[in-house]
Amino acid sequence: MNGERRIYGYALLALLIWSALLGGLLWYNLEEARDHIDELARKEARASFNKDQAFRMWATQHGGVYVPISERTPPNPALAHVPERDLTTPAGEQLTLMNPAYMLRQIMEDFGALYGIKGKITSTKLMNPINAPDGWELAAIQQFEKGVSEIFEYSEINGEPYLRLMGAMVVLPGCLKCHGEQGYQVGDIRGGVGVSIPMQGYFADLKVVVVQQVVTFGVLWLIGVVGILLLTLLAQLRRRERRLRGEERERYYREIERANAELIQFANISAHHLMEPSRRLLLFARRLQERSEGIANDEESRLALEYIQQGATRMRDLVRDIERYLAAALPRGEVRAHDPAPLLAKLQHHLLTGEGHPQGAQIIVESLPPLCLDLPRMSDLFAVLISNSLIHATSERQPLVRIHGESLPDRVRVRIEDNGPGIPAEYRERVFKVFEHLGANPLAGTGIGLSIARRIVESSNGQIWIERSPLGGIAVVFEIEKGEGGRVKF
Ligand code: HEC
């Protein structure tokens, strides 16, 4: 559940980052497009403005232009104060002076379609009321008087969008011929000239760009969103699959554990049931041997009885060791530090006086720290290890087993050394396997003893191995942890 929520969290974060990124880029692109359109419109406005100015300058340079008087071009009353406003050519043609503003206005009126963008000249001190400024133009002229030289603005004229440009008109010496009367001096702001660029075409272009960008980025965004959603789904599926696999494995383990437990129980019961008949077999074989003494004196019968007895002994030992092996993995009493000394004394007595062990054997127990193990398994452990040494004793020497141990920081190490025939290094690991015999005599021991020892030690997190013994034979060494929480103190 928690993991699922985390995946959704990451997905949401990825979506937010993706959206912000594309949104930002789109916004930037649209800003750029708008700036570009604005730049183009300004350029057009300046070009148009400069062309008007060039005309005006040219006309001013020549102190105005004389043209034939006609109905369209009557003498300008505003120029009445200029001497020689009207002239007659030697051929008798009537000419009149045209001022720059008048000239330009006429060009615009007569050739509007060719001329293109209409300009307007205006001032706060009018010579001709036609040139009266509107509100925006008036404000612009006031700005010029403060030192600004050009003003742009987007605005609407008759409901249509326009970019308006207004530039200052400064009084030059040439202007004074006609405007000197009004009290102007060179360098004064006479007024302004404006052009208005219709923006409809530009805005239509901009709209196309905006639609293109929005569609492009929208598609890109959608692809990203689908990708993120797919990845989220995939992660979710993989997580679910992993969880299912974990559950399956657990079920499988439980199944194995159950089967294992059943098997051990079956083996335990079988061994238990086999024990009684094998004991009885041995008992009656012995009894029969005692009774038959002096009756069945022939060699064959004697041998047969001996074999029966040997077989019965072996069967009993095998069943006993199988029981020990099965019981080796789990404690059968309180697991804590126990002093092994009393237990060893009992074992010593039992092993040295019991049947089948070599005469004159000696078991020396030296200092031994307490061992953290339940008593029944500790008894089994020492029993199988000492037995193992005694069983493999050679007839040449008097069998000797020495047991001693030492306390390490977190473990106890115990050594069981003998003076037997020893085991070549390459076999020292193999002998821990069940039914691994090395000796020539397969009847010596059950072949399970060392496996029992290993099972007891390893199920207590310990280790067991074989080394050379200073006494000449082998040394079985095992280490067992001291136990937890300082429960074991020495
Ligand atoms: C040949 C005479 C003449 C010259 C030269 C001349 N003007 Fe004018 N100007 C006029 C007349 C006449 C008007 C007003 C009537 C009209 O609009 O035709 C006028 C109008 C204007 C206007 C419009 C405001 C208004 O009063 O109606 C401005 C601004 C202006 N002139 C600036 C200038 C500047 C700046 C120069 C020099 C670069 C200049 N003129 C040169 C004669 C002249």
Which tokens go with 102? 């008048």
Please give the Cα distance from 27 to 17 (Å, whole number): 15
- The alpha carbon of 459 and the centre of ligand 1 are apart by a number of angstroms equal to 116
Ligand 1 center from residue 103 Cα (angstroms): 10
Q: Take residue 117 and report the two structure tokens written for it.
A: 């963008």
What's the CA gap between 388 and 422, in Å, rounded? 12
Q: Which residue has the higher pLDDT, 180 or 379?
A: 379
Per DSSP, what are the bridge partners of residue 162?
Answer: 155, 198
Helix (H) or strand (E) holding 481: strand 474-481
Q: Which atom of ligand 1 is nearest to the CA of 63?
A: 5
What is the per-residue pLDDT across 30-70, written as a single tens digit (0 to 9) for each? 999 999 999 999 999 999 889 888 988 999 999 899 999 99
Q: Taking each helix axis as running N to C, give the angle between helix 200-292 and helix 2-61, from 0 to 180 degrees, rounded to the nearest 10.
A: 160
- Min mean pLDDT across 78-87, 189-198, 291-300, 314-323 is at 291-300
Phi and psi at 476, nearest 5°, equal: -90, 125
Q: Is the CB of 65 under 6 A from ligand 1?
A: no
For residue 193, give both structure tokens.
């000239």
Q: Is 247 left (phi over 0), alpha (psi -120 to 50) or beta?
A: alpha
- Residue 462 CB–ligand 1 contact under 6 Å: no
How is residue 184 written in tokens? 């102007």
Contacts of 14 (CB under 8 A, 6+ apart): 228
Contact 125, 116 (CB under 8 A): no
Name the average pLDDT for the chain: 88
Average pLDDT over residues 315-342: 89
Residue 350, both tokens: 């039992």
100 alpha carbon to ligand 1 midpoint, in Å?
6
**What percentage of residues in the chain have a pLDDT greater than 70?**
95
| Residues in contact with 104: Cβ distance below 8 Å, sequence separation at least 6, in sequence order | 52, 55, 56, 119, 121
Confidence of residue 296 (pLDDT cuts 50, 70, 90): low
For ligand 1, say whether the CB of 106 is within 6 Å of any of its atoms: no
Q: Taking 80 as the threshold, does the pLDDT of residue 309 lie above it?
A: yes
Q: How confident is the model at residue 488 (pLDDT cuts 50, 70, 90)?
A: very low
- Can you tell me which residue has the tokens 């509007």? 112
Evaluate: CB of 168 within 6 angstroms of ligand 1: no
Q: Which tokens in the block code for residue 206?
A: 């901009």
pLDDT category at 357 given cuts 50, 70, 90 is low
pLDDT of residue 276 exceeding 50: yes
Detail the DSSP E strand segments found in 113-243. 119-122, 150-157, 160-170, 189-198
Nearest-5° Cα angle at 101, 115 to 145? 110
Q: Is pLDDT at 469 greater than 50 in this prediction?
A: yes
Q: How far is the CA of 124 from the centre of ligand 1 (A)?
A: 12
Strands 94-98 and 119-122 turn out to be: unpaired
How far is it, in rounded angstroms, from Cα 297 to Cα 289?
A: 11
**177 Cβ closer than 6 Å to some ligand 1 atom:** yes
Q: Which of 137-151, 281-295, 439-453 has the highest mean pLDDT?
A: 137-151
- pLDDT over 90 at 231, yes or no: yes
Predicted local distance difference test score (pLDDT) of residue 1: 56
pLDDT at 310: 86
Q: What is the Å distance from ligand 1's center to 210 Cα?
A: 44
| Dist. CA 463–CA 483, nearest whole Å | 14
- What does the pLDDT look like over 163-191, one tens digit per residue? 999 999 899 998 988 888 888 999 899 98
Q: Which residue ranges make up each domain of the chain?
A: 2-66+94-198, 330-481
What residue ranges in 279-381 does DSSP mark as E strands?
A: 336-338, 362-365, 371-373
Q: Mean per-residue pLDDT for 430-459? A: 79
Instruction: Tell me the C-alpha distance between 270 and 403, whole Å.
Output: 35
Q: Look up residue 462 and give its two tokens.
A: 């310990």
pLDDT grade for 383, boundaries at 50, 70 and 90? very high
Confidence of residue 487 (pLDDT cuts 50, 70, 90): very low
Mutate to test the pocket of ligand 1, among 76, 109, 121 (most ligand atoms within 8 A of CB): 121
Six-digit token string for 431: 């002998």
Nearest CA to ligand 1 atom 21: 101
Strands 160-170 and 150-157: antiparallel
Q: Compute, in angstroms, the gap from residue 161 CA to the centroid of ligand 1.
A: 29
User: Which pLDDT belongs to residue 490?
Assistant: 33
Element (H, E) at 55: helix 2-61
CA of 126 to the centre of ligand 1 (A): 9
Lowest-pLDDT range of 198-212, 225-239, 285-299, 362-376: 285-299
133 lines ligand 1 (CB under 6 A): no
Please answer whether residues 434 and 325 qualify as being in contact, where contact means their C-beta atoms are separated by less than 8 angstroms.
yes
Q: In this structure, which residue's CA is closest to atom 6 in ligand 1?
A: 175
- The residue type of 167 is G
Model confidence at 484, pLDDT cuts 50, 70, 90, reads: low
- Residues 410-424 pLDDT 10s: 899 999 999 988 888
Which one of 52, 79, 175 would you pick to mutate in the ligand 1 pocket, going by the greatest count of ligand atoms within 8 A of its CB? 175
Q: Please give the number of the atom of ligand 1 that sits closest to the Cα of 99.
A: 1
Atom of ligand 1 nearest to the CA of 57: 38
Q: Classify 182 as helix, strand or coil.
A: helix
Residue nearest to ligand 1 atom 29, measured at CA: 191
- Stretch (H or E) spanning 476: strand 474-481
Per-residue confidence band for 485, with pLDDT thresholds at 50, 70 and 90:
very low
H or E segment to which residue 105 belongs:
helix 100-110
State in Å: Cα 81 to ligand 1 middle: 13
Q: State yes or no: pLDDT of 356 exceeds 90.
A: no
Tell me if 127 CB under 6 Å of ligand 1. Answer: yes
* Count of alpha carbons within 13 angstroms of residue 85, beta-carbon side: 13
CATH 3.30.565.10 correct for 330-481: yes
Calculate how far, in angstroms, residue 201's C-alpha sits from the geometric centre of ligand 1: 33
Ligand 1: nearest atom to the Cα of 182: 26
Q: What is the pLDDT of residues 111-151, one digit of tens each?
A: 877 877 778 889 988 888 888 998 888 999 999 989 888 89
The residue assigned the tokens 């040295």 is 352
The dihedral sign for the CA sequence 391, 394, 395, 398:
negative
Least confident of 246-250, 253-257, 268-272, 340-344: 268-272
Could you tell me if the CB of 172 is within 6 A of ligand 1? yes
Candidates 67, 84, 190: which one to mutate for ligand 1, based on the most atoms within 8 Å of Cβ?
190
- Model confidence at 439, pLDDT cuts 50, 70, 90, reads low
Task: Report how far ligand 1's centroid is from the alpha carbon of 128 (Å).
Answer: 9
Checking if the pLDDT of 358 tops 70, the result is no
CA–CA gap between residue 330 and residue 110 (Å, rounded): 118
* CB 166 near ligand 1, within 6 Å: no
Q: Give residue-wise pLDDT tens across range 19-28.
A: 999 999 999 9
Containing 108, the helix (H) or strand (E) segment is helix 100-110
- Say what the pLDDT of residue 171 is: 92
Sorting pLDDT into bands at 50, 70 and 90, what band is 5?
confident
Q: 484 versus 285: which is more confidently predicted?
A: 285
